[in-house]
């Protein structure tokens, strides 16, 4: 029996030191801000975490009064205009009250690093440990990765989920049971953090199955396992809707994004003007406000619609949203298709730092969070520093260079089957994010910024790979029945 060799104390200290260095690099924008970077929605997540705990307390102590009483919780939930992920709300609220908001981004940095490290070990098994630190620091300085990590928003869990799904689809046979299980659990944990993560994951499974359709039956275990985690995530989100809001919905109290989007794009505006008041919709009472942008329709506290109506009227607008969107799209299909293509392209090329506002901070206690002083839209626009605009410019060059390098390597025959699938799945995630964010919500810089850094990350890993990789992995191009494991692979 071989004796187990444990790492030396020096090796452990080096590993810890490098890991801390990488964490600090990914949190660099937070250090510049002198605190985690906040967004207007951060307040909603924080308060949502408090409300979720009150709901739990209501079940445990049904006759207790005070802030967590049944009437108070019901009123809070009924009047909510936008309920965000309960899971990220708790992820934000609990660490912030236990220690600090700094713990939130420390956890986000840790999860991101661990998943990236798995991909690095799979792609670059012969490269030294310090090379991963170099990759991480490069991503922190030259891409939006560190901004996403330093942001107290669920954005960071989208690229993390993409990496986990991609690793499992491509490297399933090379992973041990423990690592597979850890990645699957991470998929469950990330998919519940934001609703858009579910369609992105399903899109990746669809693209992955089309890439390996000949071996799909052989690879069915990995697809079923991932689908199982997504199913658990859907169950958890449905449970929140049923228990918390008595709604069979993955997004209870969600603002009418599709209605607002259809009105701004044109089909909804034409449909309502043509059919109101005969169709008897709540929205027919606001035909004088059909020239609003989707953002102002939902969020403007003075001239908007959804933000100024009563709670019952808001509920009716939410109920009408999908109906109006579908009916208008069927009546004006080419206008809707054109709008989807245009908005998707806008989102695809929009990944500036505009919404990672510095400075941003908040005062918070167990009951409330008060953002200061930029929480009003007008002050946000005033305080947005010009240096962040200029800092966004090199990120575009980095992304373009990464894309060109990957395509050149593909056309030059330097990528094998695994690498090609990895590149296609990563690119698919970027495109799906653009479609969801631009076409069905509204183009926003942070939507694309949270995933676009995966392309430079992939290019860096391809760049530093051991040249022997192309020969060690050539057997992966062969049918599964002929694969023979190499010693030490």
Conformational region of residue 12, where left means phi above 0, alpha means psi within -120 to 50, and beta covers everything else: alpha
E strands, 259-375, are 361-364, 369-372
In a domain, 130, yes or no: yes
For the record, the structure tokens of 488 come out as 């030490």
In a domain, 272, yes or no: no
CA–CA dist 48, 58 (Å, integer): 15
CA–CA dist 462, 472 (Å, integer): 15
Confidence at residue 14, expressed as pLDDT on a 0 to 100 scale: 86
In a domain, 91, yes or no: yes
Question: What pLDDT tens digit does each residue of the chain (489 aa) get?
Answer: 445 566 777 878 888 999 999 999 999 999 999 999 999 889 989 988 888 888 777 766 665 555 445 555 445 554 555 667 889 999 999 999 999 999 999 999 999 999 999 999 999 888 899 999 999 999 999 999 999 999 999 999 999 999 999 999 999 999 999 999 999 999 999 999 998 999 999 999 999 999 888 888 888 999 999 999 999 999 999 988 887 777 777 777 788 889 999 999 999 999 999 999 899 899 999 998 889 888 888 888 888 888 888 888 888 898 899 899 999 999 999 999 999 999 999 999 999 998 898 888 999 988 889 887 654 444 444 456 677 778 889 999 999 999 999 999 999 888 888 899 999 999 999 999 999 988 888 888 999 999 999 999 999 999 987 554 444 444 344 444 433 333 333
Q: What sign results for the dihedral spanned by CA atoms 287, 307, 198, 319?
A: negative
> How many domains is the chain built from?
1
CA angle 360, 115, 445 (to 5 degrees): 35
Output the furthest CA–CA distance in the chain (Å, rounded). 83
In a domain, 17, yes or no: no
- Alpha-carbon distances of 126 from 121, 131, 258, 271, 488, rounded to whole Å: 8, 10, 49, 61, 11
Confidence at residue 423, expressed as pLDDT on a 0 to 100 scale: 96
State the burial class of residue 248 (Cβ atoms within 10 Å of its Cβ: 0-12, 13-18, 19+): exposed
Q: What is the CA radius of gyration of the chain?
A: 24
In a domain, 328, yes or no: no
Conformational region of residue 270, where left means phi above 0, alpha means psi within -120 to 50, and beta covers everything else: alpha
For the record, the structure tokens of 177 come out as 């049971």
In a domain, 46, yes or no: yes
Which residue's entry shows tokens 């449970």? 239
Which residue's entry shows tokens 């005033």? 382
C-beta neighbour count of 365 within 10 angstroms:
10
Q: What sign results for the dihedral spanned by CA atoms 273, 275, 276, 281?
A: negative
What is the span of the domain harbouring residue 185? 32-251+357-474
Given a contact cutoff of 8 angstroms between Cβ atoms, the answer to whether 158 and 200 are in contact is yes
CA angle 359, 299, 155 (to 5 degrees): 55
To 10 degrees, what angle do helices 386-411 and 454-464 make?
A: 50
């Amino acid at each position: 029996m071989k004796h187990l060799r444990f790492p030396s104390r020096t090796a452990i200290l080096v590993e810890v030191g490098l890991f801390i260095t990488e964490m600090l690099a990914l949190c660099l924008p937070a250090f510049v801000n002198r605190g985690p970077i906040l967004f207007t929605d951060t307040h909603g997540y924080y308060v949502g975490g408090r409300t979720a705990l009150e709901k739990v307390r209501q079940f445990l102590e049904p006759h207790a009064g005070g802030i967590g009483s049944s009437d108070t919780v019901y009123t809070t939930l009924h009047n909510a205009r936008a309920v965000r992920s309960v899971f990220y709300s708790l992820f934000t609220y609990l660490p912030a009250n236990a220690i600090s908001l700094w713990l939130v981004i420390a956890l986000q940095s840790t999860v991101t690093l661990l998943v990236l490290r798995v991909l690095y070990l799979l792609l670059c098994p012969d490269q030294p440990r310090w090379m991963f630190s170099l990759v991480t620091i490069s991503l922190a300085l030259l891409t939006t990765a560190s901004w996403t990590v330093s942001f107290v928003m669920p954005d960071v869990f989208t690229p993390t989920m993409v990496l986990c799904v991609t690793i499992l689809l491509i490297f399933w046979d090379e992973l041990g049971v423990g690592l597979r299980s850890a990645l699957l659990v991470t998929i469950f944990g990330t998919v519940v953090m934001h609703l858009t993560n579910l369609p992105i994951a399903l899109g990746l499974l669809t693209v992955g199955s089309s890439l390996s359709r000949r071996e799909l039956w052989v690879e069915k275990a990995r697809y079923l396992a991932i689908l199982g985690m997504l199913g658990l995530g859907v169950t958890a989100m449905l449970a929140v809707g049923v228990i918390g809001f008595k709604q069979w919905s993955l997004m209870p109290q969600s603002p009418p994004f599709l209605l607002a989007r259809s009105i701004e794009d044109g089909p909804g505006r034409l449909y309502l003007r043509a059919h109101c008041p005969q169709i008897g919709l709540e929205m027919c009472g606001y035909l004088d406000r059909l020239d609003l942008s989707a953002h102002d329709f939902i969020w403007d506290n003075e001239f908007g619609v959804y933000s100024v109506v009563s709670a019952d009227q808001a509920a009716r607008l939410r109920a009408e949203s999908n109906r109006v969107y579908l009916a208008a799209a069927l009546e004006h299909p080419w206008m809707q298709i054109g709008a989807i293509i245009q908005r998707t392209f806008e989102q695809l090329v929009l990944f500036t730092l505009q919404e990672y506002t510095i400075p941003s901070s908040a005062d918070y206690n167990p009951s409330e969070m008060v953002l200061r002083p930029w929480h009003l839209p007008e002050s946000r626009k005033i305080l947005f520093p010009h240096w962040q605009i200029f800092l966004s410019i090199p990120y575009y060059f980095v992304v373009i260079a990464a894309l060109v390098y990957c395509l050149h390597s593909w056309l030059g025959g330097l990528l094998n089957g695994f690498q090609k699938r990895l590149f296609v799945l990563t690119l698919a995630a970027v495109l799906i994010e653009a479609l969801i964010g631009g076409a069905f919500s509204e183009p926003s810089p942070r939507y694309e910024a949270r995933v676009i850094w995966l392309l430079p990350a992939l290019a860096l890993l391809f760049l530093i790979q051991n040249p022997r990789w192309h020969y060690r992995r050539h057997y992966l191009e062969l049918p599964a029945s002929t694969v023979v494991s190499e010693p030490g692979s």
